[in-house]
Amino acid sequence: MNEATTAIVSITAGITGLALMAVLVSQKSNTANVLSAFGNAFSNMLSAATAPVTGAATAPVNSSSGIQSLNFGGLGSFSIPGIQ
């Protein structure tokens, strides 16, 4: 990389890091629930990936506090199926 690219990448990384720290320490942030959601998502992906091998199909962990559908603007939407 040349010097200009290195400078741009460094500045961008610094701004991103500062924004991340601001969100994590903010009084209004919901850090615990965000980390829990990422953990649940990883658990669901791991369960889905190992189900064909283990034969154990487990119900997905859904602790989204009642959120049953997500809208991604022009990209479409995703609905979380109910467990019967």
Q: Using 50, 70 and 90 to split pLDDT, how confident is the model at 48?
A: confident
The mean pLDDT of the chain is: 74
Q: What is the DSSP string of 25-68?
A: H-TT--HHHHHHHHHHHHHHHHHHHHHHHH---PPPP--STT--
- Please report, in angstroms and rounded to a whole number, the separation of the first and last CA atoms in the chain: 55
Return the structure tokens found at 31: 């850090």
Task: Select the highest-mean-pLDDT range: 11-20, 50-59, 75-84.
Answer: 11-20
Using one digit for the tens of pLDDT, what is the confidence trace for 67-79? 545 555 555 555 5
Average pLDDT over residues 9-18: 94
Please give the residue that has the higher pLDDT: either 73 or 20: 20
